[in-house]
Amino acid sequence: MKKFYRKKIPGTKFTRFLQLNRGKMAAFSMTFKDNPEWKDKTFKGIIEIAGRGYTIIADPETGMRYLLLTVDIDYITFDEPVESLTRKK
């Protein structure tokens, strides 16, 4: 029997983390497997909306807004301290 592996799609904790950091500048490093022009790209902007499966950021320099699909995100960097989810004890 063949096993199929899919890239994990971050769930609600990931979305909640981004929601907590709304309004902060972030750089989203992403990979697009089937794009011949650019496979890896970084989008920089202020987090406006974070939903399950997508994030909308605004580039303050150009005014452009980008809809980024969560499945394509490799990692995110922030230029400032971030709010994090904490476990209740």
SS3 15: helix
The full set of domains in the chain, from first to last, is 12-78 (2.30.30.520)
Per-residue pLDDT of the chain (89 residues; tens, 9 = 90+): 444 444 454 457 889 899 999 999 999 999 988 888 888 999 999 999 999 899 999 999 999 999 999 989 999 999 999 998 775 55
Q: Which are the contacts of 14, defined by CB distance < 8 A and separation ≥ 6?
A: 70
If one counts every other C-beta atom within 10 angstroms of the C-beta of residue 70, the result is 19
Tokens 């972030």 label which residue?
A: 26
pTM: 0.79
